[in-house]
Structure 1
């Protein structure tokens, strides 16, 4: 049995193969692991494909993937570009396990047409992303990156202790979470430990002790900190724009560690200049990386990081293990735990 581990410089191919061995894959006999390494994250991900089959957030080329898949029944990957062209060129392929919360690098319709099952890995980076989101709140509320930069540049900013310059606490704050999946639930738990009041806007969230469910407009009017955790879809694209920003209390902090497409970045400079936004923390962007003339580069009340929320070693190992578990279920003829397409759901 030939398996391709199509990894990158975060989830390396060897992590996939080690996890597959730990799942007992050798019991299926003749296990042959091939490897392919894409350039991400050193090389940015992006769209790959042509015509009607273009996949997003992919790394590597279709040609390299087709060559590496020769004779493979299963592929474990994070970023490899599974377009219709790839599926058409690889008739032996039966299953793709993608170690991401959403397999945006796979043309799911093409996978169904080819009879290939696709699995995903929800929650793989939930702990990492949740911790990062809370860290971004603290960094922005307490102006930690700015203070650090000033001190390193030789300026002792004692004036930051002045009342008008002092930061704000999470204890007693009202924090609004837009989206309440695996990441949002962990964020809420941590915020409650800080003593914050937690509002949640998510049409699919169940009632739960310790949070208050409300609609988006009410959340925006009441929350001094708003953190985005929704999945990007046609329904949520551009969810927060100029109208929504105008609903925020003066001086509110906005955090986006989820997806750039949730937020309209155009109105942000004006919202910061007017004081409507007292702080902004971003890990994701409408264009990645932001261009050199990005208007927020020089803004002192902005904390910006290069899409790092999920970047922990534990995430890489967890992602590989979830993908390997799905591959092992497929080989045993069991139902997939996390199917991503119709063929995978029929297992």
Structure 2
């Protein structure tokens, strides 16, 4: 089988050769951006970081049977169901950055509670702002979705003295976590943290109606996918103060356009889809891709 990375950056280009083990398949590396028709030609499997793959573009290359996506959010870049219908399997990599994303989630939560970024910006601008913060010890953290990342967030937050509630679409159990119905989660959480995979069932899941059922003044943290939230409803709730502060690493449109309403609100903390970006998570991600390649090679 022939394997190719079609949109490598410098870290991927150096990381795959460094992490390959003896006997692993050779992996050709194309740097981003590469012409899609060239990138998909004459290869059995491609490794993809962040390139949109229309089904019709893939269908034009009948040799291509496998797509290894570097992460979990393949649906943001391709239609796995449509690809499966033409005989192309999409492989994702889970668990590689659970701790990294969980730590970033906690960082956004603490910033929202203590307004550190806002004070930093004010001091750099020549002022000396001082804001009253929210003490999180003893407060309730609600996890909307409870996979590997949610489990790590619960571990860290529980160690910090927070009460941890969770709701998941399928039954789960975890020590120190109380699983509740969705209405209870929304009503009781001082901090609501989103950990849902993006599917057609979860798109817009945190709707205007569900936002209205959140505890007034609650903090919202999203390190999952922007599209799991009704963005317009979230912005309206931030403006009214119903959501006290939002810590967001993901957005409907990325990069976030200049002048976007979220950038103009004082009660937001915004980071650039970087929750997963640690050296440890990066190596785990590439090792996961090589594991897939090794398995496909047989």
State TM-score, norm by structure 2. 0.90
The answer for the alignment partner of 2:274 in structure 1 is 308
The answer for the alignment partner of 1:123 in structure 2 is 95
For the pair 1:145 / 2:80, whether they are aligned, the reply is no
1:63 is aligned, of 31, 37, 52, to 37
User: How far off is 1:136 after superposition?
Assistant: 0.1
Matches within 5 A, 1:189-228: 189-228=155-194
For the pair 1:79 / 2:79, whether they are aligned, the reply is no
The answer for the alignment partner of 1:231 in structure 2 is 197
The answer for the alignment partner of 1:338 in structure 2 is none
Comparing 274-283 with 318-327, greater Cα deviation is found at 274-283
SS at match of 2:277: coil
SS at match of 1:124: coil
The answer for the alignment partner of 1:156 in structure 2 is 128
Q: Check 1:300–1:61 CA distance in 2 against 1; reply closer, same or farther (3 A cut).
A: same
State TM-score, norm by structure 1. 0.78
The answer for the alignment partner of 1:24 in structure 2 is 23
Determine the C-alpha separation between the residues in 2 that align with 1:110 and 1:238.
Answer: 22
Determine the C-alpha separation between the residues in 2 that align with 1:190 and 1:10.
Answer: 32
Contact (CA 8 Å) 2:192, 2:219: kept in 1 or not?
Answer: yes
User: How far off is 1:117 after superposition?
Assistant: 3.9
SS at match of 1:22: coil
The answer for the alignment partner of 2:29 in structure 1 is 35
Q: Check 1:91–1:178 CA distance in 2 against 1; reply closer, same or farther (3 A cut).
A: same
Matched residues, number: 297
CA deviation digits over 1:125-163, x for unaligned, max 9?
Answer: 222111111100001100000111111122123xx2xxx
Structure with the greater alpha carbon radius of gyration = 1
The answer for the alignment partner of 1:177 in structure 2 is 143
The answer for the alignment partner of 1:260 in structure 2 is 226
User: How far off is 1:35 after superposition?
Assistant: 1.7
